[in-house]
Chains A and B, each alone.
Chain A
């Protein structure tokens, strides 16, 4: 660090004078920079908020209004569009997504923690090999597995099934989960665990009642990472959740359902209900994010910085 912060001798001799001088200059520079930086920050914030708000307002416009000009103010202040969007399946797409994620996030956390714990704290033959095979999976693009994966899932008759999608989500989330939790379990103290074993605690109990609670911060970080990752999945549902025959029921998740709706809505001309559908899909997520934003950001950064 010495190379970048070498103190000039003058500053060392007269700290008070130089400090006030630098403060003054810094203050002046601050004014110019603040206008510029605030302008840029505000612009970027607008670029995120404005389009979203504009689309939400669109759900209170009429189709004709949306089709003519970008700048009409909504006149149709009713929830018709929302009711139409709901009846077109937005509600069930949402429920499908939640169902799949309830299964996949639980399975990811449980299986990931079990594997990471055993790999981090038990000595056995093949330990390193299994660990590296897991970690390698995080490096590979999904596209490499895509085509055979489709036929693999098909062999188990799990195409267009919630369980199938949840299993695939879980399998693809394991590399990062194991990698992260492995590091976490390594850092936990061994003394408590050893004391438990002396008292006759079984391995299973030690894991569930001692190590899992101690690993809570790590579990929460990885949990958030997996929730966001699986919530944003697009490719896997597109490939795995297609309706197999005309008479089967479509089990679309939200990403897919909303995009399909937008593809058909574009021709059908019911833009307000599409915008309403988007609003319905967006509000709960935003509400959850705003309430837990601190944890989300902290969890994600601790997940990627390591």
Chain B
């Protein structure tokens, strides 16, 4: 039997789409949709039948002091993580690409930039687990930790009273933020480097010829031309700031999924997981998932709207 041309085309399209669409629908789309439904029930997560409770979970959430603390911590991350990471990454990328001495040969990066480019990216390829083990050792609260070793050697603190780092309620969140910045700067440095390399060198050379100093070249020429990638970075970093689960759950104190001491490093993701897997409050956890989604969506929209500028063609 000979199939018509159109039938063969349709068969091929169907064959190609069935697998991916099916898998995506089962494991991504359907769970996403279910979350909204379950967030309106008092489902415990064990037996399927659960009672519809309307918006009770959401009102309970905003009366829950732990949830409010976690939300505040995530908002703090949102305010701090993207700008700090982007500024550092931009500075490093600028140094590595056009920070070197300009001479007749033109503009180039500082010496050893190839080496730095390789090293700065390392935190991205090592698995999160490796970073966790490393930072557990680095942040140890006795004199045997790397940071305390340095602090003692430099004379900031005396060996009898080492700094508590992750065990200190005031410092713990900052320790986590520091790791996140440390981890992401390299990635965005590479991203911005690639964007900088696609800017024609003549633009930099013209600016230098006009007597622009390096700072001016950076602020007036480089940044405006990189605006598109800065925007992308901001959106991705905001999503990262809404997470923080891996580091908080494994580095900080707490009975399950960290968050301690005394919720001082609690983030939405850890509290969600504790409610879901430890407290058996699956409906409540779903409501939290919806809140995380709403914040992420609002942020992405806001970012794209407010940072919109005319793209420079070159």
Contacts and interface: CB of A to CB of B under 8 A. Distances in A.
B238 to A, nearest CB: 11
B214 interface: yes
A195 interface: no
A204 B117 CA distance: 42
Nearest to B140: A70
Most B CB atoms within 10 A — which of A124, A170, A232? Answer: A232
Contacts of A71: 149, 153
A5 B23 contact: no
B293 A55 contact: no
Nearest to B195: A305
A117 B16 contact: yes
B282 A147 contact: yes
A258 B210 contact: no
A23 to B, nearest CB: 7
A278 B130 contact: yes
A187 interface: no
Interface in B76-124: 91-92, 95-96, 99-104, 110-112, 115-124
A5 B38 contact: no
A68 B149 CA distance: 10
Contacts of A267: none
Given A29-B213, A148-B30, A141 B243 contact: yes
A239 B38 contact: no
Interface string A269-288: 00100110110011001100
A228 B187 CA distance: 12
Interface in B113-152: 115-130, 132-138, 142-146, 148-150, 152
28 contacts: A1-B203, A5-B207, A5-B221, A40-B95, A51-B146, A58-B137, A70-B144, A111-B20, A115-B16, A119-B17, A141-B243, A143-B268, A143-B269, A144-B292, A145-B289, A147-B38, A152-B27, A172-B28, A174-B23, A178-B20, A207-B16, A232-B127, A238-B249, A254-B127, A274-B133, A286-B125, A304-B232, A305-B229
B293 to A, nearest CB: 4
A98 interface: no
A223 interface: no
B120 A45 contact: yes
Interface string A30-48: 1001100110110011011
Contacts of B142: 67
Interface stretch (B6-14, B59-67, B165-173): B6-14
Contacts of A68: 143-144
Given A26-B102, A68-B144, A282-B130, A140 B312 contact: no
Contacts of B207: 4-5
Interface string B175-219: 000000010011100110111000000010011111101100000
B130 A281 contact: yes
Interface string A136-170: 01011101111111111100000000000001101
B20 A114 contact: yes
Contacts of A30: 100-102
Contacts of B17: 114-115, 118-119, 130
Given A71-B149, A148-B35, A281-B127, A305 B191 contact: yes
Contacts, number: 320
Given A38-B110, A274-B133, A282-B126, A148 B293 contact: no
A49 B121 contact: no
Contacts of B58: none
Interface of B: 8-10, 12-13, 16-17, 19-21, 23-24, 26-32, 34-35, 38, 45, 91-92, 95-96, 99-104, 110-112, 115-130, 132-138, 142-146, 148-150, 152-153, 182, 185-187, 190-191, 193-195, 203, 206-211, 213-214, 220-221, 224, 229, 232, 236, 239, 242-243, 245-246, 249-250, 268-269, 272-273, 276-277, 282, 285-286, 288-290, 292-293, 296-297, 300, 312, 314
B101 A203 contact: no
A301 B190 contact: yes
Contacts of B103: 23, 27
A48 B183 CA distance: 9
How many A residues touch the partner, as a band? 35 or more
Given A1-B312, A1-B314, A172-B27, A139 B296 contact: yes
A76 interface: no
Given A70-B145, A255-B127, A34 B293 contact: no
B122 A286 contact: yes
Contacts of A259: 129, 132-133, 250
B127 A285 contact: yes
B129 A5 contact: no
Interface in A288-304: 289-290, 293, 296-298, 300-302, 304
Contacts of B297: 139
Of the listed residues A33, A150, A263, A274, the one surrounded by the most CB atoms of chain B closer than 10 A to its CB is A33
A198 interface: no
A270 to B, nearest CB: 13
Given A5-B210, A141-B239, A34 B110 contact: yes
Given A22-B211, A117-B16, A139-B297, A146 B272 contact: yes
Nearest to A298: B194
A141 B146 contact: no
